[in-house]
Structure 1
Amino acid sequence: MAGMFRSVAPKLAIALLLGGGALLAMQWIDRPAGKETAPTPVAEAKPAAAPAPDKPVERRSDQPMAIDPNALRVKRVLQIDGPFRHGDYAWDEKGAPATGPIIITVDLRAQTLSVFRAGYEIGAAVILYGATDKPSPLGAFPIMAKHADYYSRTYDNAPMPFAQRLTSDGVFIHGSDVQWGRGTHGCIGVPTEFARKLFGVTKVGDVVVITDGKMLDVSQAEKNG
C-alpha cells in the first residue's frame, strides 16, 4: 500500500530493565550408624522444575498493556553516523550484556525501531508502518507468537518472514522490502535481514512499545484481555 512521504527524524528510545534469579537447593541423605555395609546408591536429587512462564494476555490494537514507567531506562544507544534511510539498519552487540531483558521501541514519527538488551541498544532500523486507513497502534504490547516462515491470512498470502505477532487483530513486526513511499496495513515492517536478527534475540512475552514521537503514559494503559 503506497504511503505519503515521511522524513526520518532523530531516534527516540526507551528500555525496560527487569531482573530475577533462582536458587537451587541440594538434599543430603544420612544413613544410620551400624554394621558396615556396602553403600546404598542414592539417586541424585533433582531440582524442582521451574514453572512455565505465563502466556501473555491476548490484546487487540486498542488494548495496550500497562508497564511501570519507572522501569524504563536507557544505558547506551548505538552510534549511527550519516543519514539513516529506508532499507538501512544497524546491529552491534559489542559491549552489551550477553543476556538480559529485551525491549523493542518503535517511533512512528522518526520511522525507526530500536532493540535493547538490558538497557543497551543492540539494533536499529528504518521501518514501514501503517497507512492512514490502517494505522499502527500506539502503546505497549507483548510479543504473542513468533513464526519464522509466515504468510498473511488477510492480504493475498503475502510473505511475512520472521513475523512476531503483537495483537490479536493481526499487527506484526516482520521482514519487508523497506522502501520510501511504502506503507503497511498496520504492521511494523523492517528489513528482512534485520528481522532475522531481531527474531533470534526475542522471546514470547518481550515488550514492544510503539509511540508517535511523544511520551506515552504506559502505566495507565488499558488492561483488558
Structure 2
Amino acid sequence: MLLKKRLQFLYPWCLIFFLFSLMHGLMAEREKNFQWIRSQTEVQISEIIVSLSEQKIYAYGTNGKLVGTSIISSGKENFSTPAGEYQIIEKEKIHYSNLYGYIVDRNGNILRPGSSKERISKKWHFRGAPMPYFLRLTNSGIGFHGGPTTGRPISHGCIRLPMDFAVKLFTNTPIHTRVLVFN
C-alpha cells in the first residue's frame, strides 16, 4: 500500500520529467534545422540561394563565405514557389498577407482559420496572416518570412524560415540582395 502511494506521488513528476525531456529533445532537433555561423554574425548577406528540391536556403556574405543555412518550407502543390533569379525589393519587419489569413467577426473571434480573401458578410472581415521579417521577392507577394517550417512544401508560395533564422536573415540582408531560387 505504501509503495502504491509513493508511485502515485512519483507518477506526475515522472510524467513532467518525460515531457520536459521530450520537449528538450524536440527543441534540440529543431535547432539542428538551421545554422548561423557565429564568426559571420555581423556579415552583410550578398547572395541567397534556395534549393526547392532540398527545401534548403543558403546565405552567403560579401566575403563569399557561407553565413547561414536552414531548412525551409516552400509553396505546396498548386501554390508552388517560382524558380528564378530575384532581388530583395522590400523589407518589412511586421507584414500581413493580403491574400491569406482568417475570417473574423466584429469581436476579433476567428471564424474560419486558413481562409483566403473571399466574399465576406458585413458582420465579418478578413485579417491577413502574419508574415514576420518579410523579405519581398516579387510584386505578386512571394518572399521570405518567419513561420512554421517542416522541410516540405506547405506554404501558399512564400519561402518560410525558422523564426530565429528569419530574424538573422532580415537583419543582415540589404535591399537589392541577389536571390537565386532553383528546383
In the TM superposition, structure 1's runs of 4+ consecutive aligned residues that sit over 6 Å from their partners are: 84-87
Residue 176 of structure 1 aligns with an amino acid whose one-letter code is G
TM, length-normalised to structure 2: 0.64
Are 2:150 and 1:179 equivalent residues in the alignment? yes
Is residue 192 of structure 1 aligned with residue 163 of structure 2?
A: yes
Q: Whose strand fraction is larger, Structure 1's or Structure 2's?
A: 2
Inter-CA distance 144–180: structure 2 relative to 1 (3 Å threshold): closer
Alignment partner, residue 161 of structure 1? 132
Where structure 1 has 5 or more consecutive residues not aligned to the other structure, the ranges are: 1-83, 213-225
The aligned residue for residue 206 of structure 1 is 177
**CA RMSD across the alignment:** 2.3
What letter matches 2:70 in structure 1?
A: A
Alpha-carbon distance in 1 for matches of 2:138, 2:176: 12
Distance 1:162 1:119, change over 3 A: same
Structure (1 or 2) with the greater helix fraction: 2
TM-score by length of 1: 0.53
Deviations 1:168-222 (A, max 9, x none): 111010001113656111110010111000001111100110011xxxxxxxxxx
CA distance in structure 2 between the aligned counterparts of 1:115 and 1:181, rounded to whole angstroms: 19
Higher gyration radius (CA): 1
> 2: CA distance between counterparts of 1:164 and 1:142?
10
Quote the Cα distance in structure 2 between the aligned partners of 1:144 and 1:150: 14
Q: Report the equivalent of 1:170.
A: 141
How many residues were matched structurally?
A: 128
